[in-house]
């Protein structure tokens, strides 16, 4: 859409008293369009889901959104998707884009349940701003941080948040440039967190050490239902340890593992599935996804 087109669409919604869902993803809203949207949000009391991802916004545009939500105490916003907007600046002289996200969480502390800020180029400083607010937040249940390069320092901040947060149930941390050091911090937090049900760690720079740590955390955490470990190399020995930990786990139903390097991996998973079926006293949705991309390429 052109700038004029965006303005016309948003202004046409000003008087709408039944608007609940607004998906405006990928329409080049930019910061100026965000100001038009902010005018709508200042007075709207019905909107519950807003997707403005991939709109070429910067933290300036998000700041407009945050101020509008802070002004409107009657906002019912529960689901906000901001993924794909460049919210963190590479300049050391500018504040982190995480400040604006933190302001949104504080403004909608009583309603916001699903927050998507994936692919926003958020570094460790930005993540720290966000999780500081989430330590005290009791509403956000789903947090998508996929593809933000915050690394081990950011992972440590997220871990501290998990030790204190009591509402988060789903956490997406795919391809966040974490290594064994960051995973170690997360697994320590997972051991004691009693609310988290889904954890995605796919695509990070993990080795067998990380997998061992995850297996140990599964032995102590009895609440996690889904664990994703795709796009990484895991050997047979680690699969065995994960199998043993999951076998004793009363809730884990979904373990997704992609690209095993060991040829025995498929047999190991088959044995795991068989044992799991035997131990169940009720039907579950257990599944383990295994794709050996290297073998597929050879074929």
Measured in whole angstroms, the distance separating CA 22 from the mean position of its chain's CA atoms is 21
Which segment of 21-25, 42-46, 103-107, 246-250 scores lowest on mean pLDDT?
246-250
> Averaged over 127-144, what is the pLDDT?
96
Report the share of the chain in percent with pLDDT over 70.
83
Per-residue pLDDT for 286 more than 50?
no
pLDDT tens digits, one per residue of 155-187 = 999 999 999 999 999 999 999 999 999 999 999
**The residue to which tokens 């008087």 are assigned:** 15
Confidence class for position 276, pLDDT limits 50, 70, 90: very low
Locate 130 and state its tokens: 């966000």
Segment 80-95 shows an average pLDDT of 74
Q: What is the mean pLDDT of residues 228-250?
A: 76
Instruction: Single out the residue of 182, 236, 173, 171 nearest to residue 206, CA to CA.
Output: 182
Backbone φ, ψ for residue 78 (5° rounding): -115, -30
Apex CA 46: angle with CA 41 and CA 51, to 5°? Answer: 60
What's residue 271's pLDDT? 54
pLDDT at 282 over 70: no
Q: Residue 296 pLDDT more than 50?
A: no
The Cα–Cα gap between 8 and 20 comes to 19
Query: Cα dihedral sign for 87, 168, 285, 212?
Result: positive
Question: Which strand (E) or helix (H) includes residue 272?
Answer: helix 265-279
pTM of the model: 0.84
pLDDT > 70? residue 27: yes
Predicted local distance difference test score (pLDDT) of residue 222: 82
- DSSP E strands in 224-269: the ranges are 226-229, 254-257
pLDDT at 48 > cutoff 60: yes
Q: What is the pLDDT of residue 201?
A: 96
Helical axes 236-247 vs 265-279, angle rounded to 10°: 10
Nearest to 240 by CA among 200, 208, 203: 208
How far is CA 202 from each of CA 137, 145, 166, 173, 232, rounded to the nearest angstrom? 26, 12, 24, 7, 7
């Amino acid at each position: 859409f052109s700038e004029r087109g965006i303005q016309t669409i948003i202004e046409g919604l000003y008087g709408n008293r039944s608007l609940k869902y607004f998906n405006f993803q990928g329409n080049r809203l930019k910061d100026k369009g965000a100001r038009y949207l902010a005018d709508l949000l200042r007075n709207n009391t019905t909107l519950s889901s807003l997707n403005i991802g991939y709109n070429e916004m910067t933290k300036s545009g998000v700041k407009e959104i945050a101020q509008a939500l802070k002004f409107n105490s009657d906002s019912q916003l529960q689901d906000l998707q901001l993924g794909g907007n460049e919210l963190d600046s590479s300049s050391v002289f500018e504040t982190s884009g995480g400040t604006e996200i933190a302001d949104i969480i504080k403004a909608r502390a009583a309603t916001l349940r699903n927050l998507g800020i994936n692919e926003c180029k958020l570094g460790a400083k930005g993540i720290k701003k966000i999780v500081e607010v989430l330590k005290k937040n009791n509403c956000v249940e789903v947090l998508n941080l996929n593809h933000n390069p915050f690394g081990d320092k950011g992972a440590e901040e997220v871990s501290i948040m998990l030790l204190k947060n009591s509402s988060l149930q789903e956490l997406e941390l795919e391809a966040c440039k974490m290594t064994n050091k960051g995973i170690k911090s997360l697994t320590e937090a997972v051991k004691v967190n009693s609310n988290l049900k889904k954890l995605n760690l796919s695509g990070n720079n993990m080795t067998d050490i990380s997998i061992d740590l995850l297996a140990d955390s599964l032995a102590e955490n009895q609440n996690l239902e889904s664990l994703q470990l795709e796009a990484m190399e895991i050997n047979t020995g680690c699969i065995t340890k994960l199998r043993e930990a999951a076998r004793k786990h009363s809730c884990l139903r979904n373990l997704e593992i992609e690209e095993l390097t060991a040829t025995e991996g498929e047999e190991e998973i088959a044995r795991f599935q068989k044992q799991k079926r035997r131990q169940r006293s009720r039907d579950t949705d257990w599944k383990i996804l295994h794709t050996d991309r290297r073998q597929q390429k050879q074929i």
